Amino acid sequence: MIDRNTFNNTEIAFSLKNDSQLERAYFLFKMISVEPLVKIGTAATNFALKANLPIEGLIRSTVFDHFCGGVNEEDCLPVINNMYDKGVSSVLDYSVEGKENEKEFDNALDTVLNIIEFAKSLDAIPIAVFKPSGFGRFKLYEKVNQNSALNEAETEEWKRVEARFDAVCKKAKAYDVAVLIDAEESWIQDAADRLVTKMMKTYNTEKPIVYNTLQMYRHDRMAFLEKEHIKAKTEGYYLGYKLVRGAYMEKENDRAKDKKYESPICKSKQLTDDNFNTALHYMISNLDSMSIFAGTHNEESSYLLMELMAENKILNNDPRVWFGQLYGMSDHISFNLAHLGYNVAKYMPFGPVKDVMPYLTRRAEENTSVAGQTGRELALIKKEKKRRKLA
């Protein structure tokens, strides 16, 4: 039987935070819980950065250090090592967004290849990650997604996108480092899916090295998973999937309404939860041919996966099953799971402070909008402060 109080142990959850770091976390989540404050703070910060006002130090010592590992790979090392001492691995995520030229795409490629190189000598980094739109123009993906004819320049451009995917997956296979490929908006996801499936077919011949991402707030993802499973079994390769609920709900629903098509998003939170949990059942039942990275901050889904593993006599540290959370969030899930010997990895964003601001803005907005998430963080920190007699 799985102990349903596992995630309540705040001593384990916050064991890496000293008293001042715990107080800072409490202050940050308290600020994030006030929606107007998030909007004003975000606008003011963006303005200050654009005006080159000297506020990077302030950002660095507060929100950046809470949600990011550092400005580059070496800068992240102390955090990586500290977490690994507690059994939590790291997925270094180069979180520079919104770049749209070939130089930046090549720079993103070099960074991911460097991370794989970096990971080769560090057990603490068993997994690399990249985002399809980090390797090519959004509008190009959109055109490929619609199966529109590409002109000669675009055809060459798309070949370069594919070559970047291949360079990462080839190196990942050679170094035995898994690579997670993040999800995108639905109107470019098919183009990304086709590329990832091609990479899986090439490099997942002995075991999953390449992982796609399934956003389970989309009502069509279970059917996609089953279809891909049939294809993989027929053609003789393994599947790897990161399961998440999803990140672009408002954007997806707004676009569907604007362009008058049915939204790909589930009609309710409950249907999304059901979809996610159905995928957990399906993947655990088919571990002989696929591996799972459960990217979730949801306690119920985490307990469910623990129970499914126990029922199916799957060891806590089976290499085919990973749990994942974002750095700076849900430490009560990550560190308590690791304490019990499960495979756990934190997504650790890094990059120059200025360039990571769009990511930090999204984190703040997400914590404000996801019902109960900030309240849960605050309640756990409060409990730990009381235990330490800080409250």
What is residue 51's predicted lDDT score, i.e. its pLDDT? 74
**Amino acid, single-letter form, for residue 341:** G
Q: How many CB atoms lie within 10 A of CB 311?
A: 10
Q: What percent of the chain has pLDDT over 70?
A: 96
pLDDT band at 114 (very low <50, low <70, confident <90, very high): very high
d(CA 142, CA 162): 15
Q: Report pLDDT for 391.
A: 66
Query: How does pLDDT run across 28-41, given as a tens digit for each residue?
Result: 888 888 876 667 77
147 band by pLDDT with thresholds 50, 70 and 90 = very high
Give the tens place of pLDDT for each residue, 245-262.
998 888 999 999 999 999
Q: Are 77 and 336 contacting, i.e. CB atoms less than 8 angstroms apart?
A: no
Query: What does each C-alpha distance from 110 to 115, 135, 169 come to in angstroms?
Result: 9, 11, 13
**Residue located via tokens 């000598």:** 121
Task: Check if the beta carbon of residue 214 is closer than 8 Å to that of residue 224.
Answer: yes
What's 265's DSSP letter? B
**Enclosing H/E stretch for 286:** none
Higher pLDDT, 339 or 94: 339
Say if residues 292 and 304 touch (Cβ distance below 8 Å).
no
Distance CA 151, CA 14 (A): 54
Q: By CB neighbour count within 10 A (0-12 exposed, 13-18 middle, 19+ buried), where does 379 fall?
A: middle
Write down the H helix ranges in 260-372: 269-285, 299-311, 331-339, 353-369
| Whether pLDDT at 119 is above 60 | yes
Per-residue pLDDT at 43:
75
CA 201/CA 16 separation, integer angstroms: 40
What confidence category does residue 368 fall into, taking pLDDT thresholds of 50, 70 and 90? low
Q: Is the pLDDT of residue 361 over 90?
A: no
- Per-residue pLDDT, averaged over 8-15, amounts to 97
Mean pLDDT of the chain: 93
Q: What is the pLDDT of residues 289-314, one digit of tens each?
A: 999 999 999 999 999 999 999 999 99
**Euclidean distance between CA atoms 45 and 133, whole angstroms:** 25
Tell me the whole-structure pTM to 2 decimals: 0.94
Question: Which one, of 3, 88, 14, lies nearest residue 332 by Cα?
Answer: 14
pLDDT of residue 15: 97
- Above 60 in pLDDT, residue 369? no
Encoded tokens for 88 = 């939590």
Fold that domain 72-355 belongs to in CATH: TIM Barrel (3.20.20)
User: What pLDDT, on the 0 to 100 scale, is given for residue 98?
Assistant: 65
* The pLDDT value given to residue 53: 78
pLDDT value at 362 more than 80? no
Q: Name the pairing type of β-strands 178-181 and 127-130.
A: parallel
SS3 239: strand
Structure tokens given for 186:
């639905």
| pLDDT value at 329 more than 70 | yes
Q: Side chain identity at 123, as an amino acid letter?
A: D
What is the predicted pLDDT for the residue at 371? 54
Residue 45 pLDDT: 78
Q: What is the C-alpha separation between 272 and 276, in angstroms, rounded?
A: 6
- Torsion angles phi and psi, residue 361, rounded to 5: -60, -45
Q: Is 241 exposed, middle or buried (0-12, 13-18, 19+ CB in 10 A)?
A: buried
Average pLDDT over residues 187-215: 98
Token duo for residue 114: 């460097």
358 has pLDDT over 90: no
Taking each helix axis from N to C terminus, what angle separates 152-175 and 138-145, rounded to the nearest 10 degrees?
Answer: 100
**Between the CA of residue 386 and those of 16, 30, 328, 330, 379, what are the distances in Å?**
17, 17, 20, 19, 11
| pLDDT at position 194 over 90 | yes
Burial zone of 367 (CB within 10 Å; 0-12 exposed, 13-18 middle, 19+ buried) = buried
Give the model confidence (pLDDT) of 224-283 as tens digits: 999 999 999 999 999 999 999 998 888 999 999 999 999 999 999 999 999 999 999 999
Q: Per DSSP, what are the bridge partners of residue 80?
A: none
